[in-house]
Amino acid sequence: MRRLSRHVGVTVFSAIALALVVVVGLDALAAIIDEAGAVKRNYHFSDALIYVATKLPSTVYEYIPFSSLIGCLLGLGLLANNSEVIVMRASGVSLLRIVYFVVKPVLLFVLISTAVGEYFSPYLDQLAEGRREYLRNGEASEGSASGLWNREGNEFMHFNAVFPGGVLFGVTRYQFDERKALREASFSSRATFNATENLWVEENVSITRFSENRTETEKQITRRWTSELTPEVLTVNVLPPSALSISSLHKYINFLELQNADTAIYELAFWRKLLQPLVIIGLVLIGISFVFGPLRDSTMGLRIFVGVVIGVSFKIIQDMLGPFSIVFGFPALLAVMVPVLLCMGIGLYLLRRSG
């Protein structure tokens, strides 16, 4: 039985890995084509390749559920085409045990997905975005159409590029008085966060102070800058909610609740990431049920086609319910769980009929 479990597990694992490589490869190719249109000045085609490569972990994370479904249909379908499933059933192996054999390698992809989404993709996504903006805008003060804007009290700040770990390039700060009149404008080529003293250190600072009748300019090699802005806050502002880690989303949701701010978008992203393992299991379960049920005697091409249709349909339902939960105010958890429960319900029903 252990040898049989290993054989089924290796077959399914290889099929999921193959599907993941193909899907991620196609997405990466499309991303390279898109980035090629943005090549200009210091941002060369080689930099576009590095940008796409750096964002590959987040692409892998996004497509693991879809690839698990396709891989399950491929791997289990291959065993069915070779009559191995029939032999297993005739030998007294129960349908539930075969399902267990298939789910075991899927759990490894669940662990990979969780690790990538929590520890790798947020850092690498910020690195990719920061590097691209730096190459496009550099440390110069121009190019303010892109980058990141932030406000703190009467001060408005713009950063050309934000790197992980608390490194900013092209920092422009505008300070206004109570009458909304510009009091001081400064630009520094770079700012680094000092975690020990909990402040920023600006480099190559150019300061212009405005009074009623004149202006004053000053140059400083370095300047200490105390602000409530931290690298963690910048990460939340730079990346979309879907690219943040579960821990970052949870902390930011708590922060927004203390400020009585709207948390719907971040709650939706939080529950989607937290329940991604259930999404993978649900899609795999429906894939297994289709192999034993409606697609028992179908060709491999038809199985792949059905898998794509199911995956796309699941994505459409998920993308529809998410905005609906924000607009109509019903719980984000419900919007995430409905497609998962639907997949599991259909899968269990078809497996019960096949058994």
pLDDT digits (tens, 9 = 90+) for 125-135: 999 999 998 88
Q: Is 3 exposed, middle or buried (0-12, 13-18, 19+ CB in 10 A)?
A: exposed
Clarify whether residues 112 and 158 are in a common domain. no
Clarify whether residues 117 and 12 are in a common domain. yes
Clarify whether residues 284 and 154 are in a common domain. no
Q: Which domain-ending residue is among 228, 262, 277? A: 228
Question: How many domains are there within the chain?
Answer: 2
Band of the pLDDT at 143, cuts 50, 70, 90? very low
pLDDT digits (tens, 9 = 90+) for 26-67: 999 999 999 988 888 788 999 999 999 999 999 999 999 999
Pairing verdict, β 155-163 and 199-210: unpaired
Task: Check pLDDT > 90 for residue 292.
Answer: no
pLDDT digits (tens, 9 = 90+) for 293-333: 766 667 777 777 888 888 888 888 888 888 888 888 888 89
What pLDDT sits at residue 139?
A: 61
Clarify whether residues 264 and 205 are in a common domain. no
Clarify whether residues 184 and 73 are in a common domain. no
Residue closest to 105 by CA, chosen among 68, 77, 74: 68
Mean pLDDT of 205-214: 89
User: What would the two tokens of residue 203 be?
Assistant: 């480099």
Top pLDDT among 335 and 86 is at 335
Rounded to 5°, the CA angle 260-273-278 comes to: 130
Maximum pairwise Cα distance, the chain:
95
- Considering the chain, what is the average pLDDT of its residues? 88
Residue 175 is part of which domain span? Answer: 148-228
In a domain, 341, yes or no: yes
Clarify whether residues 168 and 126 are in a common domain. no
In a domain, 241, yes or no: no
Q: Which domain-ending residue is among 228, 263, 279? A: 228
Specify the length of the chain in residues: 355
Q: Are 90 and 17 in contact (CB under 8 A)?
A: no
What pLDDT sits at residue 140?
A: 62
What pLDDT sits at residue 297?
A: 67
In a domain, 237, yes or no: no
In a domain, 142, yes or no: no
Clarify whether residues 198 and 101 are in a common domain. no
Mean pLDDT of 237-264: 89
In a domain, 104, yes or no: yes
In a domain, 242, yes or no: no
Clarify whether residues 82 and 177 are in a common domain. no
In a domain, 102, yes or no: yes
Clarify whether residues 8 and 76 are in a common domain. yes
Clarify whether residues 128 and 152 are in a common domain. no
Top pLDDT among 10 and 147 is at 10
Mean pLDDT of 270-296: 87
Clarify whether residues 59 and 127 are in a common domain. yes
Clarify whether residues 39 and 119 are in a common domain. yes
In a domain, 190, yes or no: yes
User: What would the two tokens of residue 118 be?
Assistant: 């929590």
Mean pLDDT of 56-79: 92
Q: In the chain, pLDDT over 70 holds for what percent of residues?
A: 96
pLDDT digits (tens, 9 = 90+) for 91-101: 888 888 888 88
What pLDDT sits at residue 141?
A: 55
Mean pLDDT of 174-188: 91
What pLDDT sits at residue 67?
A: 93
Task: Check pLDDT > 60 for residue 24.
Answer: yes
